[in-house]
Amino acid sequence: MRKMKWAILLAFFTITSILTGCEPLTVLDPKGPQAERLAGDIILSMWIMLGVVVAVFVILIYMLVKYRASNQSDDYEPPHIEGNAIVEAICVGVPALIVIFLSVVTVQSNYIVESPVEVYEDKEPLVIYASSSNWKWHFSYPEQDIETVNYLYVPTNRPLEFKLYSHGPITSFWIPQLGGQKYAMADMTTTLHLGADVPGEYLGRNANFSGEGFAKNTFSVKAMNEDEFDEWVEEVKTTAEPLTEDTFNELLEPGHLGQLTFTGTHLSFSPPPLSHGSHNDKHEDEQGASDEQDVQDEHEHGHHE
């Protein structure tokens, strides 16, 4: 099964490569397990849908050629046909089977992309808080206690767990070659599981329209092996300035910025909203004990020290 999928993938890559002048399309050029799963789903569905399209085209052309008026005698009177139970059962049955098959595939994929990447031998996920402001991305690494703006370094072969939220309009965090996108909103934190298995530089962007500076709301992603990643973290810790509340508030002003690096994260003085299901409750002191527990869990990484 896996072999066949790869054969199909390869066939499709060849076609699309020729189409695009030898560059595979970003989404179909996965560099991580989640993106690979999605690319597989996309190509599988493309082939099935191609079958449907071909069937419709063939029937249509056959009907138009065979039953055109100029092909028939003048006195031909088309019969009155009410419909046929068997034909109509096939018209319902075949599409239904296709939908059932695709549903099974989709439901499986849903659970895969919504859970941490499995293939990396139970490594602890690296948690990164990715928040957007007009029109920038802020990446907080609570474990490493550093923060970057508009660029992202990630280790390969380790599950990545992004905590997404926004300081402004709804945005969508998307690194097509590492996996699918997810919304970042102001009143709740969403979680996106990604993974990279090939070192390299990838493009990331906000995919959801967020106003004037939207088109240039991009960031670069560099995947590297874990040693290099640790080296980079050390380097940041020795060279970068600490992030203060004032600096951070300045960064939130609308506009574009280049790439910036800080030690410390904004999570300590500007905590993210709660996860899905208990959003909007920013007044922690008004909440019950269980909610306080949630807040604790949520900001565990933020209060690392």
Partner 1 sequence: MEFFQQFAPPHPSPAIYASMVAIVLTTVAIFGGLTYFKKWGYLWREWLTTVDHKRIGIMYLIAALLMLFRGFVDALMMRAQLAMPDNQLLDAQHYNEIFTTHGVVMILFMAMPFIIAIMNYIVPLQIGARDVAFPRLNALSFWLFFSGAMLFNISFVIGGSPDAGWTSYFPLASNEFSQHVGTNYYMFSLQIAGLGTLISGINFATTILKMRAPGMTLMKMPMFTWSSFITNIIIVFAFPVLTVALAMGSMDRIFGTNFFTTADGGMDMLWANLFWIWGHPEVYILILPAFGLYSEIISTFARRNLYGYKSMVASMVVICLLSFVVWAHHFYTMGQGAFANSIFSITTMAIAVPTGVKIFNWLFTLWKGKITITVPMLYSMLFIPIFTIGGVTGVMLGMSAADYQYHNTMFLVAHFHLVIIPGVMFALLAGLTFYWPKMFGFMLNERIGKWAAWLLAIGTCVAFFPMFISGLDGQARRMYTYSEATGFGIWNMISFVGALAIGVAFLLIAYNIYYSTRYASRDISADPWDARTLEWSTHTPVPVYNFAVVPQVNSDQAFWDAKKHGHVLFKDGYKDIHMPNNSGLPIIMAGIFFVWGFSFVFSLWLPAIVTTIAIFACMAYQSFEKDDGYHIHVDTIEKTERKLGGHKQ
Q: DSSP character for 186?
A: S
Among 32, 33, 169, 264, binds partner 1 (CB under 8 A): 169
Which residue is associated with the tokens 């999928």? 5
Residue 84 or 225: the one with the smaller Cβ distance to partner 1 is 84
Binding to partner 1 in span 97-126, by CB under 8 A = 98-99, 102-103, 105-107, 109-115
Largest CA distance in the chain: 93
3 to 32: interface string for partner 1, x by CB under 8 A = -------------x--xx--x-xxxx----
Tell the smallest beta-carbon distance from residue 145 to partner 1 (Å): 26
Tell the smallest beta-carbon distance from residue 106 to partner 1 (Å): 4
Which residues on adjacent β-strands are paired with residue 193? 161
In sequence order, what are the residues at sequence separation of 6 or more whose Cβ sits closer than 8 angstroms to the Cβ of residue 153?
221, 222, 224, 229, 232
Report the distance separating Cα 202 and Cα 22, nearest Å. 18
Residue 106 or 293: the one with the smaller Cβ distance to partner 1 is 106
Rounded to the nearest 10 degrees, the angle between the axes of helix 2-19 and helix 33-66 is 70
User: Is residue 268 within 8 Å of 300, Cβ to Cβ?
Assistant: no
Binding to partner 1 in span 181-210, by CB under 8 A = 181-183, 185-188, 190-191, 203, 205-210
Residue 255 CA to its chain's centroid (Å): 25
Tell the smallest beta-carbon distance from residue 275 to partner 1 (Å): 9
Residue 1 or 69: the one with the smaller Cβ distance to partner 1 is 69
Cα 305–265–185 angle (5° rounding)?
120
Residue 10 or 92: the one with the smaller Cβ distance to partner 1 is 92
Residue 167 or 264: the one with the smaller Cβ distance to partner 1 is 167
Report the distance separating Cα 228 and Cα 16, nearest Å. 34
Q: Is 300 in the site for partner 1 (CB under 8 A)?
A: no
Q: Is 38 in the site for partner 1 (CB under 8 A)?
A: yes
Tell the smallest beta-carbon distance from residue 232 to partner 1 (Å): 25
Reduce the DSSP state of residue 7 to 3 states and report it.
Answer: helix
Residue 280 or 293: the one with the smaller Cβ distance to partner 1 is 280
Tokens encoding 99: 């939908």
Tell the smallest beta-carbon distance from residue 46 to partner 1 (Å): 7
Tokens encoding 237: 């810790």
Count of residues near partner 1 by CB under 8 A: 92
Binding to partner 1 in span 126-145, by CB under 8 A = 134
Residue 212 or 226: the one with the smaller Cβ distance to partner 1 is 212
Report the distance separating Cα 284 and Cα 61, nearest Å. 66
Q: Is 59 in the site for partner 1 (CB under 8 A)?
A: yes
220 to 259: interface string for partner 1, x by CB under 8 A = ----------------------------------------
Report the distance separating Cα 143 and Cα 20, nearest Å. 41
Tell the smallest beta-carbon distance from residue 206 to partner 1 (Å): 8
User: Is residue 189 within 8 Å of 163, Cβ to Cβ?
Assistant: yes
Tokens encoding 262: 């800080």
Residue 55 CA to its chain's centroid (Å): 32
Residue 7 or 89: the one with the smaller Cβ distance to partner 1 is 89
